[in-house]
Structure 1
Amino acid sequence: MSQQISQRELRNDSGRIMRALDEGKSFVVASHGRAVGELRPLRRQRFIPAQAAVEMFRHAPALDREAVLADLDAHVDQGIEPRA
């Protein structure tokens, strides 16, 4: 759950807010009582050795490329028309 903070708190308590972000906390920033933005921590990138990834998927079932594409086409609108 994100904690709501004011624009003034963001300006005056930026050090505390940055430490909280580093600890994984999120914030919704409000201006005049109206939410205008969200601050959330970036996802930490984790390095996984290639051999470990290969081992994780060694026994995974093979994918049928045509079946996957057919599923995507059935459920996702991939038209070039702009959205309304």
Structure 2
Amino acid sequence: MTRTITQAELRNGSAGVMDALESGDDFIITRNGRPVGELRPVHQPRDVVTLNLKARLARFVGAGTAAEERAEIDDAFGVERLGD
């Protein structure tokens, strides 16, 4: 959930903002009523065992077009895009 907060709210309520970030919330920070920045939780890379990853990827060998291959991979692993 994206919340908009002021610079003062960030300064005075930083502990609450940090708790919300850990819960997955993100923020737009404003100064004098104008958006000046974003705060988002850091997405930690998942630990993947190489052998398991190779087995999961093996089924994609020989897929049709690049778009079909991407769709299959997105279905299997989920879609994560930066900047969304």
* TM over 0.5, shorter chain: yes
Q: Gaps (5+ residues) in structure 2?
A: 67-84
Query: Normalization by structure 1: what TM-score?
Result: 0.70
Residue 8 in structure 1 maps to residue 8 in structure 2: yes
Amino acid at match of 2:15: G
1:33 is matched with 33
The answer for the alignment partner of 1:56 in structure 2 is 56
Q: Percent identity?
A: 34
Separation in 2, partners of 1:28, 1:62: 43
Gaps of at least 5 residues in structure 1 are 69-84
Q: Equivalents in 1 of 2:44, 2:56: separation in Å?
A: 20
Task: For 1:23 and 1:11, locate their aligned partners in 2 and report how far apart those are by CA, in whole Å.
Answer: 19
Give the deviation of 1:61 after TM superposition. 2.2
Alignment coverage as a number of residue pairs: 65
- Give the 3-state SS of the residue equivalent to 1:37 in structure 2: strand
Cα distance between partner residues in 1 of 2:28 and 2:55: 40
**Where has structure 1 moved over 4 Å in runs of 4 or more?**
none
Instruction: Report deviation, 1:2.
Output: 1.3
